[in-house]
Amino acid sequence: MQEVLPEGGVIRKLWIGETAKYREHLLRLDPQSRRNRFGGAVSDDFVRNYVDLTTALDAVVHGFFIAGAMHGAAELRPLGLQFPRQAEAAISVEGPWQSHGVGSALLRRTLLAARNRGFRLLHMACLAENQRMQQLARKFDAELSFDFESVVGEVEASRPTPLSLMRELMSDGHGFATAMLDLQSRMLRA
Ligand SMILES: CC(C)(COP(=O)(O)OP(=O)(O)OC[C@H]1O[C@@H](n2cnc3c(N)ncnc32)[C@H](O)[C@@H]1OP(=O)(O)O)[C@@H](O)C(=O)NCCC(=O)NCCS
């Protein structure tokens, strides 16, 4: 799976202990992107509490990293025991890195993780005016049904296969290796 990302960028899962990076990324979103990400204007405190909650829940977070800093994120959150095969996904990319394929790469990883966890239905709630997210969801054949002031994209995730599990493992390995190389080169520079 060859992805063209902005120079120096890698996509990998967020590691335990990296919550602050996720928080900083979300706090850096410009007002319009933050509004689109959360479906309305929210305060810094809201964002901080949200990140604490995400890490407490069983969420899978993929990040887009450059030189160790997170500039994009995709979150996959199970809806809970009552809806065992359903999850919610949300994506955010900081302004300077938007429209460079980062959102597509993050969504691709999230769909793979969803498939491997047996989720059949992925909810993506976004504002009706958020054309870009809708375009992005359409690229992955999302079926969109319109709701009051919002669009809910429902992506049917296909079944896990040995190949899809291997692809996720390989993606994680690649992320880990590049993160280690990145850390090493920064330590050498210091
Ligand atoms: C929506 C968002 C995640 C998309 O990420 P991105 O990195 O900009 O997306 P990509 O570059 O992968 O582009 C995905 C598709 O969006 C569309 N797109 C890209 N730039 C666009 C633009 N300026 N205007 C309209 N559509 C655009 C294209 O269809 C593109 O696919 P293509 O390149 O194959 O033609 C990003 O813009 C973002 O974080 N927005 C703020 C938060 C948000 O809206 N989150 C969604 C709530 S769930």
Residue 150 in this model has a pLDDT that exceeds 60: no
> In which residue are the tokens 């049904």 written?
145
How many CB atoms lie under 10 A from the CB of residue 35? 16
**Å from CA of 9 to ligand 1 middle:** 17
Residue with the nearest Cα to atom 26 of ligand 1?
132
What single string gives the DSSP state of each residue in 114-151?
HHHTT--EEEEEEETT-HHHHHHHHHTT-EEEEETTEE
Residue 156 in this model has a pLDDT that exceeds 70: no
Ligand 1 atom with the smallest distance to the CA of 125 is 48
pLDDT, tens only, 28-42: 999 999 999 988 889
User: Which of 5, 11, 99 to mutate for ligand 1's pocket (most ligand atoms within 8 Å of CB)?
Assistant: 99
**Å from CA of 81 to ligand 1 middle:** 32
**Å from CA of 92 to ligand 1 middle:** 9
**Confidence (pLDDT) at 143:** 41
Q: Is 133 in the pocket of ligand 1 (CB under 6 A)?
A: yes
What single string gives the DSSP state of each residue in the chain?
-----STTEEEEEPPTT-HHHHHHHHHHS-HHHHHHHHTS---HHHHHHHHHHHHHTT-EEEEEEETTEEEEEEEEEE--TTSTTEEEEEEEE-GGGTTTTHHHHHHHHHHHHHHHTT--EEEEEEETT-HHHHHHHHHTT-EEEEETTEEEEEEEPPPP-HHHHHHHHHHHHHHHHHHHHHHHHHHHH-
Q: Is 32 in the pocket of ligand 1 (CB under 6 A)?
A: no
Q: Is 39 in the pocket of ligand 1 (CB under 6 A)?
A: no
**Confidence (pLDDT) at 146:** 34
**Confidence (pLDDT) at 125:** 75
Cβ(66)–Cβ(74) below 8 Å? no
pLDDT, tens only, 46-104: 999 899 888 777 789 999 999 999 999 999 988 787 778 888 889 999 999 999 999 99
Q: Is 131 in the pocket of ligand 1 (CB under 6 A)?
A: yes
pTM: 0.85
**Confidence (pLDDT) at 24:** 98
